[in-house]
Amino acid sequence: MKILVAGGAGYIGSVLIPKLLERGYQVDVLDLLWFGNHLPDDVNVFQKDILNFTEEELGQYDQVVFLAGLSNDPMAEYSPGKNFISNAALPAYLAYSAKRAGVKRYIYASSCSVYGYTVNELYDESSPAVSNYPYGISKLQGESGCLQLNDDNFSVISLRQGTVSGYSLRMRFDLVVNAMFKSAINERLITVNNPAIWRPILSIRDAASAYIRAIESGMSISGIFNIASGNYTIGEIADYVKDGVMEYLGIDARIDIKHIQDYRNYKVSIEKANNILSFKPRFDVKNIISGLVQNMDRFKDYDNPGYYNIEVFKALDANHLQVT
């Protein structure tokens, strides 16, 4: 099977693609390479904007995975206009072109951010998805733009992922577990803006499995699936990080609790993904932390701006480089 992964050179793609190759798939990547290229040498990478990839080029693939766009709130808030183009219009445009080109399946990287500020109930895929910030609104728009193209000949799957964390060759330290780990080591301090806020956390290794399950599911399967390794409060995550750096590294980090309001608060049910995609998470926050410890020799340059999406994005913007 031949798969195109748009945005495949990013944080999730850099873990997913080697696993797809291991399973014998032929994989090409379409990516602007904002964060460089950390993929195996034998992956064919088209360094261009999704908007410039033709239907003719798309026609050679069985499945297309969309992992591109602006992938966090700071980027979306820095440039709301580019955010709506990249996260709402772009995935729908690629799905539309892929369908016209004869691609059979399209998998969209959605986010649990679409749930906004909830009332501490477990949300499933039929719960209200209401947010009032650019990233959440645009991820929902992108999702519905893709899903409306679903039919018997074109299966569209949207994976609403929790906050992904863990080690990737294309590392990010702007995601909650990774960010707390970094500051625990660097500053001996873990700042918790609001300990009571809920977040579904998704180990990057479980994220890769979810995409594989979606790719390998029967063509009659489509729709929205929540994907997470587990639901945690921010206070609980801080406790795990504090205990982890003490246990593995002997570092005594202090937790500083603030009481800043957050506009995102949600926990999700993954029962549907479990039942239909056979997605079963295997890694919890403790596993994520031990994975970071195992790989920490590879990212000691914590101040490298490449680890922080907003820094790279601002630099690209300042230099008038292509950000769609």
Judged by the rule CB under 6 A, the positions of this chain that interact with ligand NAD are 6-7, 9-13, 30-35, 49-50, 67-69, 71, 86, 90, 109, 111, 161, 163-164, 170, 175, 309, 324
Tokens of 163: 């906050």
- Measured N-to-C along each axis, helices 134-147 and 90-101 cross at an angle, to the nearest 10 degrees, of 20
Closest CB to ligand NAD among residues 57, 251: 57
| Least distance in angstroms from the C-beta of 193 to ligand NAD | 17
- Least distance CB 152 / ligand NAD (angstroms): 27
Which residues partner with 122 through β-bridges?
Answer: 267
Closest-CA residue to 277 (of 229, 199, 223): 223
Residue nearest to ligand NAD (CB): 10
Q: 44 pairs with which residues across the strands?
A: 28
* Residue closer to ligand NAD (CB basis): 248 or 306: 306
Beta-bridge mates of residue 103: none
Q: Whole-number minimum distance, CB 1 to ligand NAD, in Å?
A: 21
Which residue lies nearer to ligand NAD by CB, 175 or 215? 175
Helix (H, G, I), strand (E, B) or coil at 158: strand
Residue with tokens 């680890």: 307
| Nearer CB in complex with ligand NAD: 53/240 | 53
* CB 159, min distance to ligand NAD, A: 8
Through-space distance between the first and last CA atoms of the chain, rounded to whole angstroms: 29
Smallest gap from Cβ 225 to ligand NAD, in A, equals 13
CB 58 within 8 A of CB 2: no
**In the block, residue with structure tokens 């729709």:** 223
Q: 33 vs 251, which CB is nearer to ligand NAD?
A: 33
